[in-house]
Structures are given as C-alpha cells and as structure tokens.
Amino acid sequence: MTTWPDHLDRVVLDQIDSTNREAERRAKAGINRPVWLAARHQTAGRGRQGRAWESPGGNLYATYLEPTELPPSQAALVGFVAALAVADALIALAPNTDVQTKWPNDVLLNGAKASGILLERFSGKQNALAIGIGINLAEHPPQHVTRWRATSLRAETGSAPEFDMALSELASAFERWRQVFHSAGFSVIRTAWLARAARLGAEIEVRLEKEVITGRFDDLDAEGGLVLDVGARQRRVAAGDVFFPGDS
Ligand code: BTN
C-alpha cells in the first residue's frame, strides 16, 4: 500500500467551501513551499468553465498548491500531468477497471467521468498554481444532472477506497509525474497521455462557446491543444468541452 510521501506538507479538513478557494486564500497570503489541501466534503466546489462541482461526503477533494515560475502556457500543461496521476491512482485503487484520459483533463473509469481537474493560477508576490482534483470514490451525480455520464469507484468495483489511501495514491502518483514533467518536459507527458486517450482516431464532438465541431480526434499537440481532422483539414482547439456518443 502506498503511504504519504514524507517530504510533502498536507492539510486534511472534514469540510471546506472549496479546496481551490482555500488554495487561493493561501496563495494571496503568500506561500513558499508546496502543500496538499484535502477535504472530505466541500460546500462550494468549483468545476471547469465556472460550473459547480457537487461535493458530497464520501469522495476525495484535494488541491496541490505550489509556488510557480511557470508562465501560464506551461502551467496549463500541468493539467495533463495531473490527469496521468489520477489515472495511476485509479489503476492502483481499482486494478481491474478500464482507465482512460479525455481531453483536456478528465479521467474516465469504465468509460464514465470519475474525476475532475481544475487548474487555477494566482498572481501575487509569488505566483502560485493550484491543481484541484476531485475523485468520485463513493458518490457520483446522476446522469440527468450531468452533461457527461459519471461514475464512482464504488459503482464500478462494489466498494469505495478509504479517503487516506486514495489521497496517498494520488499525491505519490502526482509527485512521480510532476518530476517527469520538470526533468523530461511535456513530450513525455504527451506520449503517456495519448497512450491512455479515449477515442483517439474516432469521431468526437467538441463544443466551443459559439460553435460545435465534429471531427476525428487525431492528436494532442505540443501546447496541449486538441487536434481534430475535420475533413479536408485539421483544426486545433485550445479550450472546449468534448462529448462522446452517449453523452447528452
Ligand atoms: C471539472 O469541472 O471537471 C473540474 C472539477 C474539479 C473539482 C475539484 S474538487 C477539489 C478542487 N476544489 C474545487 O472546488 N474544485 C476542485
């Protein structure tokens, strides 16, 4: 069983508004070393694109907050690092499941969304990067309230892993991939992410603010963009929501 990486600071709370919001408060007050902020329940969980993240008890809510020198374009790539860490944690917690990545930062368990990642960058005396990660250990929202089919480890395996064990698996895996990113660069992360990518080479739908694009999912580029084959040409997408057949 993986134990907590000794050198890493962590704060575990029963309840908080949002671990990313707590990260923001700490970043504004000033930080000089990384810390994991974890909670068993959130009252105001934040999701991507200004959405809420339902955060009942039984799941894992955690944010890795670190001082950063990375410019925003590089910081955004850490989302893929986090997705690989979540994928490894899920494989460790539920070895007989199918774990896949989905652009930009989702991780699917047996084809359904089991986690979410929200990156936020805070500027201040010292710039900081918050990597917020939610993993559905025991609970998941029903299909009618989500745009994507969701699941939890309990729904897929019959039992929910313990919070502490899940947090240790996540933090250890994130530390491994974070070191790969900083020593070898994004190309290794990109290759590992593509090796796990759901529907690579298949048709997907990408919803942008004012447009819906349908095309063949061809690649992840060196800047983290999604590359689609849309017939006669390729199109690169920098931000959007990806939908697979069966999603609403
Ligand atoms: C998504 O919309 O898919 C991203 C969801 C991110 C949720 C996590 S839970 C821990 C951290 N705290 C938050 O308020 N949000 C992130």
Q: Residues 130-177: pLDDT tens digits?
A: 999 999 999 999 877 777 899 999 999 999 999 999 999 999 999 999
First to last CA, the chain: 38
Q: Which pLDDT score, from 0 to 100, does residue 7 have?
A: 86
Q: Which pLDDT score, from 0 to 100, does residue 24 have?
A: 97
Q: Which pLDDT score, from 0 to 100, does residue 207 have?
A: 94
pTM score over 0.95 = yes
- Name the residue at shortest CA distance from atom 15 of ligand 1: 46
Q: Residues 191-214: pLDDT tens digits?
A: 999 999 999 999 999 999 899 999
Q: Which pLDDT score, from 0 to 100, does residue 74 have?
A: 93
> Are the C-beta atoms of residues 105 and 80 closer than 8 Å to each other?
yes
Residue 176 or residue 49, greater confidence: 176
Q: Which pLDDT score, from 0 to 100, does residue 145 have?
A: 74
Instruction: Work out the mean pLDDT of the chain and round it to a whole number.
Output: 95
* Separation between Cα atoms, residue 15 and residue 8, nearest integer Å: 21
Q: Which pLDDT score, from 0 to 100, does residue 248 have?
A: 67
Instruction: List pocket residues of ligand 1, CB cut-off 6 Å.
Output: 18-20, 42, 45-48, 51, 53, 61-63, 116-118, 132-134
Q: Residues 65-87: pLDDT tens digits?
A: 999 999 999 999 999 999 999 99
Cα(75) to ligand 1 centroid in Å equals 17
Query: Residue 45, Cα to own-chain centre: how many angstroms?
Result: 14
pLDDT of 247 over the 80 cut: no
Q: Residues 87-125: pLDDT tens digits?
A: 999 999 999 999 999 999 999 999 999 999 999 999 877
Helices marked H in the chain: 19-29, 72-75, 78-93, 153-157, 163-184, 186-195
Atom number of ligand 1 nearest to Cα 42: 14
Cα(86) to ligand 1 centroid in Å equals 13
CA angle at 150 for the pair 244 and 95, rounded to the nearest 5°: 100
Enter the DSSP assignment of 149: -
pLDDT of 38 over the 90 cut: yes
Cα(59) to ligand 1 centroid in Å equals 12
Cα(230) to ligand 1 centroid in Å equals 31
Residue to mutate (ligand 1; options 26, 102, 106, 118; most atoms within 8 A of CB): 118
